[in-house]
Amino acid sequence: MRVHDVKEILIDKHAIAERVDQLVDAVADGCGADHLIVVGILKGSFMFLADLMRSFHRHDVHPRIDFLTLSSYGSGTTSSGEVEIIHDIREDIIGANVLLVDDILDTGRTLASTKKLLIERGAESVCTCVLLDKKAHRAVEFEADHVGFPIDDHFVVGYGLDYDNFYRELPHIAKVTFHD
């Protein structure tokens, strides 16, 4: 890892909590509450997804949950361009309304290819929700249905997001500042 620090907070935990509730209001309205399966992309989405699930409680919506482990980054801060399934979902998604959740939308490859795969497998609908949207490096045309916060071109960590699998435990989103 390059010499760096994660002192600068970009989005604090209160702002995240408030936005998560708003996102769930929008998702419960727009993504089909019946036969809903929430699919989280690991590892980055685990904290966001846990908070989304808790917030569904207010709407009396009872989604099932599953996880997909993907890898598009080696170690470092640039996407390798290849999206590999390391661990697949177990739920039968034929006819289901799927809410696909990721931590951040960057090049768009992860969500574009995963959404396509779930539709090919017979999902009735696939709605996408990301905490962060970083438009600067989009490589494929893709927009998420629900976005927590658009961000500028920074590498960020915390609330599930990592740098080399570190900092996922931070309760906020912090900017990684590199020192040369």
Sheet holding 156-157, edge to edge: 4-11, 173-178, 156-157
Nearer residue to Mg ion within complex by CB, 35 or 168? 168
Q: Side chain identity at 170, as an amino acid letter?
A: L
Asked whether 179 and 5 are in contact (CB, 8 A), the reply is yes
Catalytic residue among 51, 106, 133, 162: 106
Which amino acid is located at 28 in the chain?
Answer: A
Q: Are 8 and 174 in contact (CB under 8 A)?
A: yes
Q: Which stretch binds ligand IMP (CB under 6 A): 12-20, 30-38, 55-63, 151-159?
A: 151-159
Question: Shortest gap between Cβ of 156 and ligand IMP (angstroms)?
Answer: 4
5 is catalytic: no
Residue selected from 31, 68, 104, 174 as contacting ligand IMP according to rule CB under 6 A = 104
Whole-number Å distance between alpha carbons of 83 and 117: 12
Per-residue x/- marks for ligand IMP, 110-149, CB under 6 A? x-----------------------x---------------
The token pair at 124 is 């009735």
Which strands, in side-by-side order, build the sheet including 146-151?
79-87, 64-73, 36-42, 97-105, 125-134, 146-151
**CB closer to Mg ion, 40 vs 44:** 44
User: Which residues inside 9-68 make contact with Mg ion, applying CB under 5 A?
Assistant: 44
In the 8-state DSSP scheme, what is residue 20?
H
Nearer Cβ to Mg ion (44/108): 44
x-marked contacts with ligand IMP along 42-81 as a string, rule CB under 6 A: --x---------------------------xx-----x--
Closest CA to 150 of 135, 139, 128, 165: 135
Q: Which residues bind ligand IMP (CB under 6 A)?
A: 44, 72-73, 79, 102-110, 134, 155-157, 161-162
Q: Which are the catalytic amino acids?
A: 106
